[in-house]
Amino acid sequence: MSDADALLADLWAVDEPPERDPAFVIAAMERIEQRRLWSKLLVLAAMTALVGLIAWAVAPVLAMIGQVLTPDAVLPYAGAALMALFLWSWASDRLQPLEV
């Protein structure tokens, strides 16, 4: 190996990249968390739409039951109970996004 080769090898050895790049690790972790967030938001949006569709479909039946039992008393409580159940399942992390 000549002196020029040794000099180049020494110069290249000084500029070696670090073993771990903290900026890259943080960027990769951020991207993974963003994917998880969007996945969870998509599941929550779908669940909200499904609950709304079910509530819309069941509203006439609940209205009839509400008129039979006590007018204007059952429907708000049923809606509140349904929303409380959904919020409880969301807050307790029972709704998990699908693994992709």
For 2-28, the pLDDT digits (tens) are: 777 888 877 777 666 667 888 899 999
Percent of the chain with pLDDT over 90: 19
* Per-chain mean pLDDT for the chain: 80
**CA dist., res. 52 & res. 92, Å (int):** 20
For the four alpha carbons of 65, 68, 72 and 78, in that order, the dihedral sign comes to: negative
Q: What is the per-residue pLDDT for 5? A: 81
Q: What is the per-residue pLDDT for 95? A: 61
* Cα-Cα end-to-end distance for the chain: 52
Place of tokens 């890259």: 24
Contact 43, 97 (CB under 8 A): yes
Query: What are the start-end ranges of the H helices in the chain?
Result: 3-14, 22-69, 74-91
Distance from CA of residue 48 to its chain's centroid?
Answer: 13
Place of tokens 């079910």: 54
pLDDT band at 33 (very low <50, low <70, confident <90, very high): very high
pLDDT band at 98 (very low <50, low <70, confident <90, very high): low
